[in-house]
Chain A
């Protein structure tokens, strides 16, 4: 796998405020990379620096092996960008807007295909000022996809979309990454969306990169955390709390959640059966991105 984006010690300061400080990242070709963080973490500023809209105070950005400043024209021709709150020429139709943007890209493009991909073909001849927030967002995605880019930089792509459009957008982006090997870098506040979409996530806060992990590793099953279905959950919970090899126990919706200490699930099962409980199920618990996110932010 080759490197698509590389940043080294990327910093952006607005006067005394450090919006992004010393960010070093490497994103592989075909990877879907998520940038997570609370508001003001520096996600959007990072994306703006990757698109050339904001000049870094220091540090370097390399995309497709070329320095962003020197090779901007070549990079921009292979890149699609959706910025936060995408703006268009409201007095023109969706189609006319895309035709103008295609002309700037100096390419013959299938405007209708781009509109169709985001489910907006029916509104192609409608003026943009009549569009809802969600429709504008989808048009923003259409303009990003217009030139069949190899790299997509998307700032909160599902912002303002309804559930169905969000699902379709995520499906489309996954398809682009898997079939067309499009590299996608996306910022979002919606953790469940990032969980489904991204191969790897980075967590930022106050302009700093706090963690960067593969999503499948983060979301793997935790062998030390299980949910038990037993005939007498309250009694079982009470008994388990007395055991030194159990770290934590709680009951929710009639199920006992157990966090094991120095013991295996096999040991737990044997203990419950030998204590006379009827065990109907033991479900290993999956780690969630939210747990990881909150843990990293607390650190």
Chain B
């Protein structure tokens, strides 16, 4: 099974790598990081620019990036259903659930790529045009540059889980229709609707529609909050909710795909 999934994943990567539209996401993320310089200007004034790194990352990833991930992943299965290529693929020795997992891995790779790019671009810009030498307050070093980089890496790692859950959500929408546009519309529509109703319904602890939670430690370190640890406030809850959604959404998508008649 693993071999078939790995083969299918490499096939998916090759297909995506040969499509120009795949590169739109990474390019836009880098442009968003550059645009963040307007919001948090970089200066060599003796003060560290971690706030820029935080702003650039959250703008590029948690605002634009989320839409890019939803758009990219919503088309992954819907486009195959619409074009009919799914029939060419699923008559090979490959189970539908394996095909779905390969798509999930591709979506996860795309999300991780955006995250890495947002991080790399924001840290590079901060190093080139600003300063990243640790956080100081009143002449005392609160956090070293290595400590800040570590906190950023921990936040990035934790933020991957809700991003993967988002990938699974978009994939579920993708299995429901043969139209990529409809899948994107449904994904974004339901996502925005959830964001509107999560507070009135009291379900906000279980729906990460802002994805900012994992970044709070890094943000507070940037602002000079003393004695901040590495981990988010409630890591078990953060991981549990994300993984729970991921498993549920993948199971639903697998059920839908399994029951689908793939005739012309």
Contacts and interface: CB of A to CB of B under 8 A. Distances in A.
A65 interface: no
Interface string B46-89: 00000000000000000000000000000000000001110111
Interface stretch (A47-55, A174-182, A261-269): A47-55
A271 interface: no
B248 interface: no
Given A100-B11, A106-B3, A77 B93 contact: yes
Nearest to B87: A83
Contacts of A106: 3-4, 7, 93
Contact of A104 (B83, B87, B94, B264): B94
Contacts of A101: 88-89, 92
A73 interface: yes
A76 B18 contact: no
Given A87-B88, A92-B15, A53 B83 contact: no
Contacts of A77: 93
Interface in A55-102: 55, 72-74, 76-77, 79, 81, 83-92, 96, 100-101
A83 B95 contact: no
A82 to B, nearest CB: 9
A212 to B, nearest CB: 23
B11 A104 contact: yes
B197 interface: no
B83 A48 contact: no
Contacts of B259: 55
Given A44-B264, A83-B264, A105-B93, A89 B84 contact: no
A89 B263 contact: no
Nearest to B19: A91
Contacts of B84: 83, 85-87
A76 B88 contact: no
B119 to A, nearest CB: 30
B261 interface: yes
B88 A88 contact: yes
Contacts of B87: 53, 83, 87
Nearest to A75: B93
B93 A83 contact: no
A92 B17 CA distance: 11
Interface string B3-22: 11001101100110011000
A48 B88 contact: no
A89 B8 contact: no
A160 to B, nearest CB: 14
Contacts of A52: 90-91
B90 A86 contact: no
A244 B32 CA distance: 95
Contact of B18 (A83, A91, A105): A91
A183 interface: no
Of residues B83, B93, B259, which shows the largest number of chain A Cβ atoms within 10 Å of its Cβ? B93
Contacts of B3: 106
A51 B93 CA distance: 11
B233 interface: no
A83 B4 contact: no
Nearest to B83: A87
B112 to A, nearest CB: 23
Interface in A132-162: 143
A44 B263 contact: yes
Contacts of A91: 18-19
B262 interface: yes
Interface in A108-132: none
A83 B10 contact: no
A108 B90 CA distance: 19
Contacts of A89: 15, 18, 85
A146 to B, nearest CB: 10
A81 B90 CA distance: 10
A45 interface: yes
Contacts of A45: 263
A104 B94 CA distance: 7
Contacts of A53: 87, 90-91, 261-263
Contacts of A51: 91
Contacts of B14: 96, 100
27 contacts: A14-B261, A48-B263, A54-B263, A73-B93, A73-B95, A74-B93, A76-B91, A76-B93, A83-B87, A83-B88, A83-B264, A84-B264, A86-B88, A87-B88, A88-B88, A91-B18, A92-B18, A100-B11, A100-B15, A101-B88, A104-B7, A104-B89, A104-B92, A104-B94, A106-B7, A106-B93, A143-B88
Interface of A: 14, 44-45, 48, 51-55, 72-74, 76-77, 79, 81, 83-92, 96, 100-101, 103-106, 143
10 shortest interchain CB distances as A-B pairs = A87-B84, A81-B91, A53-B262, A104-B92, A76-B93, A77-B93, A73-B93, A54-B261, A87-B85, A83-B87
